[in-house]
Amino acid sequence: MNICIFMLTTIEINTNSSLYNLGQLTPNNIRIKQYIDGIKQVRNFNPDIEIYISDNSNYLNKESDLLNIINENNIKIIKNAPNNFGHINKGNGLIENWIHNTDIIKKYDYIIHFEPRQLLQSNQFIDNFLKNPRNLFTLGTNKMHFNTGLFCLKTNILIQFINLIELSKNKDSIEYIIYNYIIDNKISYNLLDKMDLIWFPTNEILIHH
């Protein structure tokens, strides 16, 4: 079974953007520290799996402590991913980045999607998946959407999904559109109770999932 961890990032955000000015984006100095901590954790828990990071800002084009940590941990870097639709919402940015990396994603049977601006508390979610690879999610608090900070999905399903999205018209939350796609198409999946990670929302209050 061919599996990889794929991390999609916007490490450095545009501080002139409307989302930043509305207080919906975490300042860059805090973001970068969160990325450093999260990337260190994912490699510590998963020493043998190929890991990719695909960033749609220009941050990895310059020397930095974060770049050094990525290289030291043998994480494959994909630079200059497009970011033409991320200003609409986070979901559009993710989908645009997945589309950009379709040729790489096709090489694998499953993708473990992990957003590295989080802190894994244990490897229980990924270990559970590796023992029995399948579509694996956790539910959001309202039980009507998937959490997208960490999930596992068969790559042919992901590619079918992203090929259906019209980015210029998509204003829905990624958590809901993935959930609806899986449910509406009767795609089999399993649930775990938690991802066992700490998520950093914009207000910087730690939330355990």
Strand partners, 53: 7, 77
Element (H, E) at 127: helix 124-131
Cα dihedral 27/37/12/75 (nearest 10): -170
CB burial readout 3-38, b (16+ within 10 A) else e: bbbbbbbbbbbeeeeebeeeeebbebeebbebbbbb
Quote the tokens at residue 131.
């023992």
Q: Higher-confidence residue: 44 or 87?
A: 44
Of 88, 73, 4, whose CA–CA distance to 38 is shortest? 73
User: In the block, which residue shows the tokens 């244990």?
Assistant: 122
Backbone CA torsion sign across 36, 39, 44, 48: negative
pLDDT 10s digits, 167-198:
556 567 889 999 999 999 999 999 999 999 98
Per DSSP (E only), the strands in the chain are 3-9, 50-55, 76-78, 110-114, 118-120, 136-137, 150-154, 190-191, 197-199, 207-208
pTM of the model: 0.88
Backbone CA torsion sign across 30, 33, 39, 44: negative
Which of these ranges, 5-14, 65-74, 80-89, has the smallest mean pLDDT?
A: 80-89
Between CA 99 and CA 157 the distance in angstroms is 13
In whole angstroms, how far apart are CA 20 and each of 12, 42, 51, 105? 11, 27, 29, 31
Between CA 119 and CA 196 the distance in angstroms is 9
The pairing of beta strand 190-191 with beta strand 150-154: unpaired
The pairing of beta strand 3-9 with beta strand 110-114: parallel
Contacting residues for 71 by C-beta, under 8 A, at least 6 apart: 77
pLDDT 10s digits, 143-154:
899 999 999 999
Q: Is the pLDDT of residue 208 over 60?
A: no
Give backbone dihedrals phi and psi of 77, rounded to 5 degrees, phi first. -100, 130
Query: Quick one: pLDDT band at residue 206, thresholds 50, 70, 90?
Result: very low
Q: Which domains, ranges and CATH numbers included, belong to the chain?
A: 3-208 (3.90.550.10)
